[in-house]
Chain A
C-alpha cells in the first residue's frame, strides 16, 4: 500500500492556539488527500479533504494545505477548542487498481483549557 508518515504522534496546545499536523507520502500519483477525526470511543469521520488541483482548502477553523512537489500535506486547526481534542488521521488512496485507503499512524491532539 501507499507509504504515508504522520507527525507528530502527540500534540498538546493551549486553548486558542493553533495546531498543525503533517503527513508525507511517496507516491507522486496521489491526487486525493483526506483528513479524519476520531473522538475517544467513536468512529473516524472525514473532516476535510483536498484534491491535487488546489493547494489549500479551508472550512471555518480547519484548513488543509498541499505541497505536491515536496509530497506533504498538512492539517491546520486555528483557535483550538477543547472539543478539538481527538485523534486525527491523514489518509491516502493506494496506487494501483485497488485504491484502498491507507491511514497515517494518527496524532493525538489535546487542547488544554
Chain B
C-alpha cells in the first residue's frame, strides 16, 4: 500500500477563493482524521470520520470549513472562502479500528498558503 495519499502537496491561493484538499486513506482503514498544524497551535484535530460517518467535528474552526467522506477511499476538506489565517499544513491520517488505540498513519500533508 502506498500509505495515506494527500493532494495537492502545496496550494497557494488568494483570499476569498475556495480550497479543496483531498485524501485517500490506507485501504482497509475505517477511521480518518483531518489535522491542521501551525507553529502557534501545534497539531489540531479538525474532524474525525469512522466508517465514513463524521463522529466529531468540534475542531472545525468555523462554518467556512467543511469535510466529506463519500466513500471509504476518499475524503475532502473544503475551505470557502479562504482567509490568510487558514495558512497551515493540513494532514490527513487513517487508522484501523473504531478508536485511536492503534497507530495513526499520516499523509505527507498539504501546505496551504492563502495570500
Contacts and interface: CB of A to CB of B under 8 A. Distances in A.
Please indicate whether A and B come from the same complex rather than being unrelated chains.
yes
26 contacts: A1-B45, A32-B100, A42-B108, A43-B109, A44-B43, A45-B106, A51-B101, A89-B42, A93-B99, A93-B100, A93-B101, A97-B55, A98-B48, A98-B55, A99-B98, A99-B99, A100-B48, A100-B56, A100-B100, A101-B100, A102-B45, A103-B35, A103-B42, A103-B45, A105-B42, A106-B42
A18 B59 CA distance: 36
Given A43-B108, A103-B42, A31 B101 contact: yes
Contacts of B33: 100-101
Contact of A99 (B35, B42, B100, B108): B100
Instruction: Give the interface size bracket for A toward B.
Output: 20 to 34
Interface string B38-75: 00001101001000000110010000000000000000
Interface of A: 1, 31-32, 34, 42-46, 49, 51, 89, 93, 97-106
B93 to A, nearest CB: 8
Query: For this complex, into which size category does the number of interface residues on chain B fall?
Result: 20 to 34
B103 interface: yes
B9 to A, nearest CB: 11
Contacts of B45: 1, 100-103
A44 B42 contact: no
Nearest to B103: A46
Contacts of A106: 42-43
A98 B101 contact: no
A108 B26 CA distance: 29
Given A99-B99, A103-B42, A103-B43, A44 B106 contact: yes
A32 B101 contact: yes
Contacts of A44: 43, 91, 106
B56 A98 contact: yes
